[in-house]
Amino acid sequence: MSSVTNGNHERDLPAMTVQRIPLYLRCLLEAQGERLTVLNSKQLGERAGTNAAQVRKDLSHLGELGTRGIGYDVDDLVVHLMRRLGITESRFAAIIGAGRLGSAFLGYQGFVARGVQIVAAFDADPAKVGIEIEGLTVKSIDEFAQAVGNEGIELVLLTVPAVAAQRACDVVVAAGIKAILNFAPCTLSVPDDVTVRQADVAADLQILSFHLNRASSGGETR
């Protein structure tokens, strides 16, 4: 009603654009490491594995971030993408399930640079509670709700066995968490306002297996 050049560039990004923003951000951080200050849509597209038109269309949804005749300022764009992703300040995450996979993520040093900080680990198994993994003491799942408030936890990585996943998920949802990354190969039931992303490694391998078939068989039917 008052702004002129500022269109409705605030909410409602296409789902596919949202999925690519982390990819663009990663490529831009790489470019920063190479001391590049400007990237055009073609260059960014090549790094991200897409094309220039896709990059321009995606970024145009965020506002007019580029300079015609020049390209995109790398530092500027990094800030804009981080702001859109809500990671200008690190988001705090918790791991539920201190098994092999959960421990691997606890020890991974790469999350902080991507705007996520793992601040706590929980397990339902009393044998796991109290042990220290990568400098963090595993807490009981019973303490989860309290920890969410105390530590500002907003994201959950669910790394429990499939049979325990729904139970753990219920605890997480009851504590007010709205975003879950589920590594268990099962469908989780959650309220509409909770977002679940599925990370099923076996499914990924099956998809790759499918593509192996397509490549090898020349064209015979049997």
Give the residues lining the site for a copy of itself (CB under 8 A).
10-11, 18-19, 21-23, 25-27, 30, 47-49, 84-87, 91, 93, 99-101, 103-105, 107-108, 110-111, 114-116, 154-155, 157, 162, 178-181, 185-187, 193, 195, 197, 199-215, 219, 221
What is the nearest approach in angstroms of DNA to the Cβ of residue 180?
Answer: 22
- Going by C-alpha positions, the residue among 200, 203, 158, 165 that lies closest to residue 181 is 158
Residue 75 or 204: the one with the smaller Cβ distance to a copy of itself is: 204
Mark residues 7-36: x for contact with DNA by CB under 7 A, - for none.
Answer: x------xxxx-------------------
State the residues that interact with DNA by CB under 7 A. Answer: 7, 14-17, 40-42, 50-54, 56-57, 59-60, 64-72
